[in-house]
Structure 1
Amino acid sequence: MAQFKLSASLTGHEQDVRAVTSPNASIVLSASRDGTVRSFVRKAENGPFEAHEVYTVHRGFVNSLAYIPRSDKHPQGLIVSGGQDKLIAVTEPGHTHDSNYVLFGHTENVCTLDVLPSGTVVSGSWDSTAKVWKNWECQHTLTGHEATVWAVLAVGENEVLTGSADKTIRFWRDGKQVAVFTGHEDVVRGLCRVPAVGFASCSNDGSVRVWSEDGHLLQTMYGHTSFVYAVAALPTGEIVSCGEDRSLRVWKDGECIQTIIHPAISVWDVAVAPNGDVVTGASDGVVRVFTRDPARVADEATLKQYNETIAAQAIPSNQVGDVQKDKLPGPEALTQPGTKEGQVLMVRVGAMVEAHQWSSGQSQWLKIGEVVDAVGSSRKQIYEGKEYDYVFDVDVQEGAPPLKLPYNARENPWDAAGRFIERNGLQQEFTQQVVDFIIQNSSGVAIPAPGGGADPYNASRYVPQGGVSSAPAPATFQDPYHSRAASTASPKVPKVLPQKIYLSTTQANLPALKKKVLDVNAELLKSGEKGISLNPEEIVDLEAVITFLESHTLSEGSSVVENGLAVAVKIGTRWPGNLRFPGVDLLRLLVAATPAASSASFEGKDIVQILLEAGQLDGSPITSKERETNGMLAIRGLGNLFEAEQGRKLAVQHFEDFYDAVRAGSEVEANRNLKVASATVFLNYAVLFHGEKEGDHSLGLLEQLATIISSETDSETLFRALVALGTLTHNSPDIAEAAAVFDAKTAVQGAAGRVKEPRIKQIAEEIISSLP
């Protein structure tokens, strides 16, 4: 059988390519952490692929992708994508900004998708559920897994397989669990059909397994040296897999027959085109196509360049174990054939150590990189072509691969943390915690913060305690390409209380916001609502303020700010309640971006009164989805006010209005985002009131916090409420004594028993130790 060779490298994505699919020989689709889905087309048979369309139908990372074949109703087929925004978008090719259908239901990131030709969609999520969608409505929610559902496979109209971080594969029929298949020793990451056999799975345990249709394990294949993220079957019955060891591997009859190294840290996904070509998506943002057909193989110059890129890759020695140069063989060792496909051999060539991999198909050793000295030596680690003293791994989700955090010892930790936060789309409030992690693990020196917030409130997104790690590998599994941070010391967990810095919410998809405003405005004009629609001058003001927000160059007193605020107020207060949310969101962002927003006044109303009106926050119970959405955005805006001195003055001046509105938000049990936004405002008030002798407002706040803590089950809302209560009572004897009136200690003890997370236990212990 011929070897696969590079056919094409498709560029355009700005971040990791997390998912790929190829519906036919002329189309490749890809989804990326840059928030886009892209299509590449081949206009002639065996011709080159060209970048075609960019789809922007999600807010945040796009992590999963599928394609529904053509039908009479949809002659071009349908692109199905899921992502960080918890939504599944179903989009006709060519409709780059608008989806035909949007499927709501998951409460966390949608990380896997599969479809049937009939249009049935199956999805899996970080929320530990899978869902079956028919006619664009959820028909079944599959509950039973104890952790993230990383893989789904539709095996029939009413039959589904799911793979999870709980290490199991489950079989479902008509929405009910029928069987549980065990065998994997770590997170199950991928599933695929194997014609005439059954199905295959892959896992963080480094294995690829083949199962019969009734779930009997037929084969276990080892060869990957780290997590295996995806698996697919070729028309020949062979299997391809990819993972964190930079490789794509081809399996036949239980043996690895070819290993293709990529010039990237992670190969996230693999798909097979109908013509047998293989498509991969990797962490360097490149989609690659590999083929066995000589007519589609890239030219010699391209192949040579690719091989040279691979050979020039730098592999830190702490990723291949304890390398003792003086005991390594020289280049003469390469004259002896390897023992199996993919075998890695390190040889000493002068002062360098080279890594070579055996190719059974080519019967030769192929250079796959140069091993550089570990951290602390005169040589540095290479990350994305640049040298760094440290490249840390940061875990973000159970079963998920770590994020890379590069850092040079001579740079400001705040700069490195800022790059890391921005690159990975994390909240700015995590910056302080990332800085602390860098300092603890690099023997660095703390540098004063340039300003900003500290948010230690989301352990599921960032785990800094000690050397960050994921689930341990089995004893027989050695991982030479997946090291953790150089420092293995476990730093003492820092105290959380008292919180001293205000939290804000500043993440946004500004292009989507702008598009929504323009689309709704067009509909208002079409329906004759000229009195409330934006005129051309106001549209110019809207575009200008969004441009300023994107460039982060807003300044107090700017006419752009003033005019942009006026547009946001008009949308947020004059448009119908079900259409105004982009205006409320724009108000939220402006409040966070410039102190001028806190001082603004419109028709005698200050910004607090405007936010309360826009969010339909009159203190009454929030009973509709419309009010939930507007209220959540407005409460986030109220929370952002604390960043400015004038905003804090308004927060005190309007405390009763704030309190009633935010309390109503905290009582909407089914809307987690609304509850977290409300808890954030209470926390910011706690920071503001901490240490103040005047305690009337503190007592009211204390009562509401004790109420939340006594029954809340959402860990994020609970943690923020606990930090707020602990901050209020910290070194404040009068407030601490008053906490007894509300039985706060009992509420805190109950919270620690109800929500069993280390961060909840830690903060509860801090609070209890300080209460009388």
Structure 2
Amino acid sequence: HEKALWAIIPMGSTIVTGAADKVIIAWNQGQIIKTFKAVLNKDEFLSCANDNSIRRWNLISGQCIQEYNGHTSFVYSISVISENRFVSSGEDRSIRLWSIDNNESIQTIRLPAQSLWSVTVLSNQDIVVGSSDGRVYVFTTDQSRTASNEEIANFEQEISQSSITTKTGDLGEVKIDDLPGKEALEKPGKRDGQTTMINCGNGNVEAYQWNDTDRRWMKIGDVVGSADSTSDGQTATGEKIMFEGKLYDYVFNVDLGDEHIPLKLPYNATEDPWFAAQNFIYRHELSQMFLDQIANFIVTNTKGMVIDQKAPDFVDPFTGSGRYVPVGKSSTTQSRNTDPFTGTGRYIPDSAGAQQQSQPSNYPVTKRDAAICPQTQYIKLVNAEQTKILGKLKEFNKSEIGDELRLSDAQLQSISDLVNNDYTNLETKLNVILHLLRWPPDKVFPALDILRLIIVQDNVCELLFSSDEKIANFMTILFNNLDLDQPPPNIMLTYRTFANLFSTILGENIMLKYKDSILAKTIILLPSSKKNVQIALTIVILNYAICTYRKKLIPLASYIYECYKEFVDIQLEPDSGHKLLLGLETLFCVNPDLITDARSNKKSSAELFLQSLVKISNNFPPNVIECIERCQTLLKTS
């Protein structure tokens, strides 16, 4: 395999492996006996993949027998219940039960966590799920062992408080005015797991799922991002087009030249064209060189009906001209008004004050590799324009967010005091911040910006993380901002919060506790991230590398080093590439064996990453070029 190994299953004397290189290989006594060129993972076996599908394969013939569709985001894990049934989990907040001969799921169970990393079936047929909120959920068909009514009610209440966007998922994109009222819930659903949206008035939409066992509709969250029939930004015009069982605004015929047959490209106007193009490339195993060509094709043929496109006067898609918007001044020479999310004169939570120290430290560096120095001081992102943050907060507080979410004047004043370093009555003020973090995705970014500023304080961390339950709830809130369809400022500010958590001992420990989930999310998000989001992601990677040096965490250093294979063929910003390079040098100082590996293995993580950077280095500034050359020289040294 050329990339990270993700799954292994034994099948008698044969072992089947699946990896990030989109290849499944059957092995016998260490020899490759068959390679399955597929995007996806029993004599027949099942595989899951990032194209939302599950596939059933015949080991002997190497043929795909059946495809199962139902998940609406990445599928992470599969476990077999019996010869005829299996269960899967993924990034769409659900586990789904399947019959082997039916390509539609027979039951959908929602959970109050975004990422359901792992699912397994116990010998008693209980289903166990591990999720991004740090909890393990157990589901059973044995009535004698089910949770109490109170626990079940609390579980359902937690699910009902989730926010669901219409950009992804199985809800579809509809006008609020076309939705039925709550009287529709008086009619039973047609199948277990069926979802519907209800217009609750005042612009509020709720999502419900039919529970066929209990014969009732269960609320699964509040819907955000519905297309309003009166909105200037309505996403679709005319009839939707059915393609492979789903409705789309467009289905294009894409002709990539004589060597390729025309391919179908389905697209909804609420998608990011570059993300849609990347999914298209993965699905059809195309060269990465087609990315810009396909994305620009989408932009041209949708007549500009796409999200995240900046108007000529730099009106931000989330706010508007001259308003507060998360953006950043990096340590490179970029203008403060060139952020991809915002424009001239707006509030900018910037990174110009990032406390990065690249000079040699008091930590020892081995004489053999004295040409490189580890980074030893965490990067903090603490510069801000407090007045504009508070102005945006007050503006949103006056909008239609619902009375239950609106702050009183006294609460607004308490947040103003907190932003201006008044830490009296801190617990009360932090409760207001946690309340703010429940605001809709398009209005939550001022709260996230305030959070990343105060999270560097020990007393703030001591109160926020005073129990395991509080820690889990806090991290769940942050992870909820990392779905691929979240506004980019939310992702950026969440990662800036992660970066600043390293500033305190308690925060550092939490970042280590959740390292697997955060690094996995980073690998998923980085390829489709732009500019300041990308920089925030790479700062977190660099801070993790610094943490391995400060605490001598050799296993973690080796793990992060292997992650560098996933950063190949990404169009990195110079500042992002520089941070990854500094992280790589720091990892070399933690574990010199990584240098030995890179020198002896032409397909090592370091070699592949450096080769990838060289390809895009034409516009890199001298400090980044120097860093690349320093690493190359090190790896060539005998």
Q: Do the two structures share a fold, i.e. TM-score over 0.5?
A: no
Query: TM-score if structure 2 supplies the norm length?
Result: 0.42
Look at both structures and tell me which one has the larger radius of gyration over its CA atoms: 1
Query: TM-score if structure 1 supplies the norm length?
Result: 0.35
Considering fraction of residues, name the structure with more strand: 1
